[in-house]
Amino acid sequence: MSRSVPEKTLEHWASIYLAYRFRSHVGLWWPTLGEDIDILHLPSRPGKALQLEMKTVEAKAETHTLHIDASQLRTYMAKPSWQQPFYVFPWPWWTGEFRKALVTRGVAETEAGFSRVDQLLPNAWFANWLVVMAAKDVSAILASDPSAGRHKTLIQFDMNTREATWVPSSAHPTTIPISTPKGPTGFTDPVDWRSFWAQVSHCGGGASTLLRLPHSEVRGETITRPELSAILAKLAATPTGSTTADGGRLVSLTTTGRDEDWSVLSQSLAVQQVNTPPPYGVTENEHVIGVFLEASALTQ
């Protein structure tokens, strides 16, 4: 069994994509093991912060398998929702290692990080086959797995039958066609990579994001989506993307869902248990990308 696409490669391609898509309106960092979003270290500008946990699939014969470290996932789920990452992983169309699949078709692996590769081989661009799921959705799906092992199988792709099976070790696994990314019956579907960023930049992303707004623009403990839309329009119209009436003071807000109101996060709660070291036994390397989108990149 071998890794179909190295996680480090996915990490670099994802970073390149974000830098191209959002230009100077995005800040990126690569946290160390156990490090989370810390509001004290975010840019002193309005925007939205989130974390990506890059995962890959293991290739063996005609299958690809996505394993999830259960200890790592439990650690994530013990954190506040806005510190929980989004899992990012391949939804493969090829058999075996991705690099070999490209080379046999006359395409260099390095080209897959750029959209131009689709002119040489349709669907080769990584942004076409990468998908995103919130940690809470991954946790909900794996709750049906009764096995006691540390590594659990979230999904397995059979390239011979062109089918994918969610949680094959559960009592009631869900099998779907590979053609379109879908979640198990009754659970949230994975979102394709490009659509995910369209959602985030339109203030989607749900509970696993942290919103930062000027204190002078937040009146009360909650703001509605229409109110947020007006605030973002105002920020976008200013040269710096922020207001200065409050001396640059920012307020942190969280939400419980994609279409819900945003609530002010108290300062004491925001700094509580930030950068908590991982529990004993969690040694797997994290491939995390921290992302901060400035308010100028957010629209309604």
Residue bearing the bigger pLDDT, 134 or 246: 134
Ramachandran bin of 123, using left for φ above 0, alpha for ψ from -120 to 50, beta for the remaining angles: left
Predicted pLDDT of residue 38: 64
Q: How far apart are CA 276 and CA 254, in angstroms?
A: 20
Confidence of residue 272 (pLDDT cuts 50, 70, 90): very low
- Asked whether residue 159 carries a pLDDT value surpassing 80, the answer given is yes
Predicted pLDDT of residue 276: 44
* Mean pLDDT within 129-146: 94
- Asked whether residue 291 carries a pLDDT value surpassing 70, the answer given is yes
The beta-carbon contacts of 273-278 under 8 Å, at least 24 apart in sequence, are: 273/79, 273/80, 274/36, 274/37, 274/38, 274/39, 274/40, 274/83, 275/34, 275/35, 275/36, 275/38, 276/34, 276/36, 276/79, 277/34, 278/33, 278/34, 278/72, 278/75
Predicted pLDDT of residue 236: 82
How confident is the prediction for the chain on average, in pLDDT?
87
Whole-number Cα distances in Å, 28 to 114, 138, 144, 293: 19, 24, 35, 9
Confidence of residue 283 (pLDDT cuts 50, 70, 90): very low
- Asked whether residue 211 carries a pLDDT value surpassing 50, the answer given is yes
Beta bridge partners of 2: 59
- Asked whether residue 282 carries a pLDDT value surpassing 90, the answer given is no
Predicted pLDDT of residue 204: 75
Predicted pLDDT of residue 280: 37
Confidence of residue 39 (pLDDT cuts 50, 70, 90): low
Predicted pLDDT of residue 33: 59
Q: How far apart are CA 175 and CA 141, in angstroms?
A: 13
Predicted pLDDT of residue 147: 78
* Mean pLDDT within 219-233: 89
* Mean pLDDT within 86-110: 97
Least confident of 21-35, 118-132, 205-219: 21-35
